[in-house]
Amino acid sequence: MCRLFGLSSAPRRTRATFWLLDAPDSLSRQSHQDPDGTGLGYFAPDGTPRIDKAPIAAFEDRAFAEDARRAESATFLAHIRYASTGGLDARNTHPFAQDGRLFAHNGVIEGLDRLDAHLGADRSLVTGDTDSERFFALITREIREHGGDVGAGIRRAAGWIAANLPVYALNLILVTPDELWALRYPDTHELYVLERPVGGPHGGRHLDHSGARGRMRVHSADLAGLPAVVVASERMDDNPGWRLMAPGELLHVGPDLATTAHTVLPDPPAHRLTLADLRPEAAASQKAA
């Protein structure tokens, strides 16, 4: 499955280093599929979104993905893609940017012709071929229609898809320069949240998070002295504070790191897909590690 990682230290900007792919001599690589793309999103001091992303279709792409990526921001969004829809190019690699927001998704949505028809003119927001970017476009439209209310936009867009289209999973993270939202829906894939105090559970510790099998590592010395909230597809260290989000839960991390969580999708999808229902490439993307 795709890997999601979001971090907020708002209102303080922090420096962080991301490694989004393991080194080529790693033993873990020998028995696990390479991802199809990696990406990191963050914000400049003036709030402009910055995205550093690339597909992995050749050796030189892999070398780029292995490089350390250093950035400074109050919010970060990282994604490791296993393609279910759309080719291997930068247009289809997460995160995506629309209306000054950054978005990444883990899951599969089918019935894209119907989604395109529902988007209408807002289909122009989509530059690639993925179900994920179409989902984001629908969220963006709903946010506009709800006066900039991001939570309402996510709830309405995800609710329409859950009621009208075949769905495997809609897990997402969306960030602005000082806020973060995360949705887990339904219970297909896990999504965890960690409210990390200054210096971690014992104080004085930098942040050093590592995903399973060498996928994604995040380091920030600044967080030895600052609190943060982290959302990820897996527990990335042994901190006992990691909490598995409930199915249908929408999490919001505000500009002061205050968190709120509500169940916004209490019912399962009307047309829920199983792994056996997926196209072979989509099924492979959801099983990949």
Mean pLDDT of 173-177: 99
For residues 138 and 177, is the Cβ–Cβ distance under 8 A?
Answer: no
What's the rounded Cα separation, in Å, for the pair 241 and 235?
A: 10
**Domain residue extents for the chain:** 3-287
Does pTM surpass 0.85?
yes
Q: What is the rounded average pLDDT of the residues 141-161?
A: 99
pLDDT above 90 (res 47): yes
3-state SS, one letter per residue, for 10-47: CCCCEEEEEECCCCCCCHHHHHCCCCCEEEEEEECCCC
Provide the mean pLDDT of the chain: 85
Q: Pull the structure tokens for residue 77.
A: 């969004």
Residue 286 pLDDT > 80, yes or no? no
Q: Which residues pair with 166 in a beta bridge?
A: 271
Task: Grade residue 236 by pLDDT with cuts at 50, 70 and 90.
Answer: confident
Name the nearest CA neighbour of 18 among 54, 66, 56: 66
Fold held by 3-287: Glutamine Phosphoribosylpyrophosphate, subunit 1, domain 1 (3.60.20)
Which DSSP state fits 125?
A: G
Task: Measure the CA–CA gap between 16 and 30, rounded to whole angstroms.
Answer: 28
Residue position matching structure tokens 């790693």: 26
pLDDT band at residue 31 using 50, 70 and 90 as cut-offs: very low
pLDDT higher than 50, residue 29: no
Least confident of 32-41, 119-128, 226-235, 272-281: 32-41
Q: CA angle 170-54-98, nearest 5°?
A: 50
- pLDDT, residue 97, reads 97
